[in-house]
Chains A and B, each alone.
Chain A
Amino acid sequence: MTRNMKLILGAIALAGALAAAPALAQDSAISQARAAGVIGEQADGYIGVRPGQTASADLRARVDQLNIRRRAEYTTRAERNNATPNEMAASIVCVLFRERLREGEYYRDEAGQWREVTASAPAAVPSWCPAS
């Protein structure tokens, strides 16, 4: 009885640890798709699937989920700062495009064009961003 109880409790703890783990780092399906150029950051502050790329239903669902959670963060942080969610998203993009995009990744610029980040052409920061 006690041994069984311990096993059950152990299983519950393990399941909990496994469920919590993905929250600490970015979903590997997302980071792989980003590195492969299937998805990328957009100037609107959300992730998008590049046209012409094959994305599984699972990946599309993950992208949607991520964007929903981003939207929630933009909304709460915007309210705290007397701004709109779009303004919060627009300011995230300034930091994200300037500091976070890696070579070989794709991003969708202000005009809606998808571009690759290369050593000679770093991401074009949108016009609304303050000069660094």
Chain B
Amino acid sequence: MAKASAGLLLMGAATALTAGCIPLQVQAPDRPIEINLNVNIRHEVIVRLDDEARDLLNDNPDLFGDPR
């Protein structure tokens, strides 16, 4: 019984190790691409935040004044 669980543990560890290798290989080529994207991300974020910006302005007349 004890031997069987030890075997299972080993198999589990082996699977985890093999599985662990796969994302490492995928991640490696991704890194240089991320750096290039940084320039564009900002503009996209501003576009994405437009609704939140309007909510923030409308919810806080004490901070931003009343609409014109």
* Chain A residues with a Cβ under 8 A of chain B: 22-27, 31, 34, 66, 69-70, 73, 77, 80-81, 83, 87-88, 90-92, 94-96, 99-102, 128-130
A-B contact count (CB 8 A): 77
- Interface SS majority for chain B: helix
**Interface residue ranges of B42-68 to A (CB < 8 Å):** 42-43, 45-50, 52-54, 56-57, 60-68
In the complex, what's the smallest C-beta–C-beta distance from A14 to chain B, in angstroms? 21
Interface centre among A23, A25, A95, A96 (most CB of B within 10 A): A95
- CB closest chain-A residue, reference B49: A91
* Chain B residues with a Cβ under 8 A of chain A: 42-43, 45-50, 52-54, 56-57, 60-68
Beyond A99-B68, A130-B50, is A66–B63 a contact (Cβ under 8 Å)? yes
Return chain B residues, CB-CB under 8 Å to A128: 42-43, 46
CA distance A81 to B64 in the complex (A): 20
